[in-house]
């Protein structure tokens, strides 16, 4: 693996983790049950984020950026 591909992969995973953490904070402040859903079912919580895009826009932006970097790392 090339050094820049490893960097893209590492930063992409970090962005996804940060996105999930930000989404957990946002959803828990909105409703406790969504906070628990985010904690135990992370893929379902992104559906919540798409439904509440006004509150979770930053989290979705980080997740898209993370997936883009992971895709770039694996494509090289």
pTM above 0.75, yes or no: yes
Whether 24 and 38 have beta carbons less than 8 Å apart is answered as yes
What's the rounded Cα separation, in Å, for the pair 66 and 60?
Answer: 10
The range of the structural domain enclosing residue 30 comes to 3-75
Confidence of residue 19 (pLDDT cuts 50, 70, 90): very high
Return the percentage of the chain with pLDDT > 90, whole number.
62
Give residue 70's pLDDT.
Answer: 97
Q: Which of 21, 13, 11, 8 is nearest to 58 (CA)?
A: 21
Whether 70 and 10 have beta carbons less than 8 Å apart is answered as no
Q: Which of 9, 20, 24 is nearest to 68 (CA)?
A: 9
Give residue 45's pLDDT.
Answer: 85
Which whole number is the average pLDDT over 13-32? 93
Number of domains in the chain: 1
Which whole number is the average pLDDT over 12-18? 96
What's the rounded Cα separation, in Å, for the pair 76 and 67?
Answer: 14
């Amino acid at each position: 693996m090339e050094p820049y591909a490893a960097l893209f992969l590492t930063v992409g995973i970090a962005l996804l983790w940060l996105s999930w953490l930000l989404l957990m904070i946002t959803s828990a402040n909105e409703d406790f049950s969504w906070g628990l859903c985010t904690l135990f079912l992370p893929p379902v919580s992104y559906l919540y984020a798409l439904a509440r895009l006004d509150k979770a826009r930053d989290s979705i932006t980080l997740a898209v950026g993370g997936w883009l970097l992971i895709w770039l790392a694996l494509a090289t």
